[in-house]
Amino acid sequence: MTPMEWIALAEQGFELFMKIRNSAKSAGVTDEQLDAITLDYDQRIARRQADADVRGSADH
Amino acid sequence: MRTRRSLAPILAALFLFAACATTQVQKARIVSVDVHAVLAAVDDAEMTLCNKQADNTCKSSVPAWTTEKHVEFSKHLVVALKAGRALNEGVKAVPITGQTKADLTAVSAELEAVTGLVKDILPPNSTVVIALTAAKDAVLRLLPLFLEGA
């Protein structure tokens, strides 16, 4: 990757990061919002764990 | 009157301490929201790339992104997501412990590991690569903020 391509990519990444950060900025993050995030993590972990275990179960 | 005067600096110090603690807690909570957002973006981008079929195999638009690659990616992402979850639970507590800081470092390490997996396989304009770049950038920017707040 050329330096110019890397810079263009980093800019795209930074724009996405700023979008995310701006959406996260608020008067304050409540316990309820953190609980909702934990719940989302649980669902994602379960989905990924199932995919990560595919090879393990096939090997046995 | 003298008592009131002597209490004033103590009360001021207490208010200042409370204000600083609140700011630090809020900063740490925003860090957790940010980390979740970037991990979710990476998770969703790779899932879309995999294009999982009914038989649990990937049918990616990038032929080299095989089911095996997806499985390896998932193994690392599980660790990253678990660290992100632990961090999210950690920021609820005051004061924030060194373990919570270690959780953010673990997220960073796993993002590096999955970057190694996609290297030389996915094109630079792939959503997964862009999401990963954003995630690593975010964690690098958040780590010092988080250390100040912890």
Does the pLDDT of residue B68 top 90, yes or no?
A: yes
Q: Which domain holds residue B50?
A: 2-149
Taking contacts as CB-CB distances below 8 angstroms, the residues of chain A near B34 are 20-21, 24
Q: Do B131 and A48 lie within an 8 Å CB cutoff?
A: no
Of residues B126, B9, B29, the one with CA closest to residue A36? B29
- Prediction ipTM score: 0.80
Number of folded domains that form chain B: 1
Predicted model pTM:
0.75
* CATH number of the domain bearing residue B86: 1.20.140
Q: How far is B97 from chain A (nearest CA, A)?
A: 17
pLDDT for A2-60, tens place per residue? 556 655 656 666 666 566 566 656 567 888 888 999 999 999 999 999 998 875 554 44
